[in-house]
A = this chain, B = another copy of it.
Amino acid sequence: MNPERTRALALIEQTAREVADAIARGDLPELRFPLRSLANVRYEPGGGFALGPATKTRSLSAGGARSFAQALRMMTLSHQMLRDDDFASKREAYYVSKNWGDCRFESQPESDEIIDDLEALVSREGLVREHLGFFPEEHAGSVVGMLTVVDTDPETGETVEVDCRALGRGAYSIPRSVEHLSFRTDAKFVLAIETGGMFQRLHSHRFWRSSECVLVEMGGVPTRAVRRFVRRLADEHALPVYCFVDCDPYGIANIYRTLKVGSGNAAHVSAAFSVPTARFLGVTPQDILDFGLQDATHPLVDVDVKRAHDALEHDPFFAAHPAWSAALQQMLAMGVRAEQQALAKWGLNFVLQEYLPRKLAAPEAFLP
């Protein structure tokens, strides 16, 4: 068992012991969880979103008995999974409860709520949901390039090495939890790409070989596993991370911002699931001018404009970076957005032969 799982197990046992002790003393037992709401969230420019000190309590009162029991049951499930080296998706955890009699959850938001509370609890110790055995359901993204992923066969315990340069036109599909992986790499940087089409283009042309990099297909807003995977590469191998997405408010304020600082409604895990060193390679509004893409743009629609204004007015990340405010204002003034595939206007491989080399020659100019 890895050290984080051992610590998670100890935390569950300690919490359970406190409940047992309270009962033995004749006190009403209670479980105290960090409060997960925007009111209890801080933005730390160097790091990302972080949880404040406020807490909420589940106690064994008349009104709270069921939810108290459910929390203990969920801790028991986590404890079993950690001992058995097993895991469950949040959806599966919900279904497991169907055999809990009166404690069963009626809907998944109820069970998710308790899993999120448990995660907030262990986040105080630098742990995340995956360390408790709860995995996300979503597909996690793909990787190729100058990287060897070191894993173990969960059945035989043998070491398994996946050479991400030796997958043909295929790719390494990131598992739903990446905590147990380690890496060997002599890459110079990580390029995190929004669309599968662009990923396949750069991969098929062996851009990772000529540029000595790792390519990551995010496929839209990056999942927890993708962010954690990239974060670990950035931290443990000191790799710069460059983000290559569409020039639109979604690419910037959703995809890039989530990669860089995490998700606003999961601030208790942003520290682990964000890549604070990430920089924005493009496509920038200025690129539309610099690379002559004006006639390959699309007008901003209402939802784009709303998203840009939301970012400018309500998102502490953009408020903290004048360069970003200026870029979003420029996009609004131009009234257009451009997809990364728009570069194909100058030929299918313009992106490989011109755009990326020119941009990568001056990473210090990337947006923060």
Contacts and interface: CB of A to CB of B under 8 A. Distances in A.
Contacts of A295: 98, 104
A138 B196 CA distance: 6
Interface stretch (A88-96, A281-289, A302-310): A88-96
Contacts of A197: 89, 91-92, 135, 137, 176
Contact of A139 (B86, B89, B139, B206): B139
B173 A152 contact: no
A315 interface: no
Interface in A318-368: 339, 341-349
Number of copies: 2
Interface in A77-94: 81, 86-89, 91-93
Given A204-B87, A344-B95, A345-B98, A176 B196 contact: yes
Nearest to A140: B196
A96 B345 contact: yes
Interface residues of A, number: 64
A141 to B, nearest CB: 8
A26 interface: no
A206 B345 contact: no
A168 B155 contact: no
A188 interface: no
A200 interface: yes
Interface stretch (A8-16, A54-62, A159-167, A252-260): A159-167
Interface of A: 81, 86-89, 91-93, 95-96, 98-99, 104, 135, 137-140, 142, 149, 151-155, 160, 162, 166-177, 180-181, 195-197, 200-201, 204-206, 209, 217, 219, 295-296, 339, 341-349
5 contacts: A89-B197, A89-B341, A95-B341, A135-B197, A154-B205
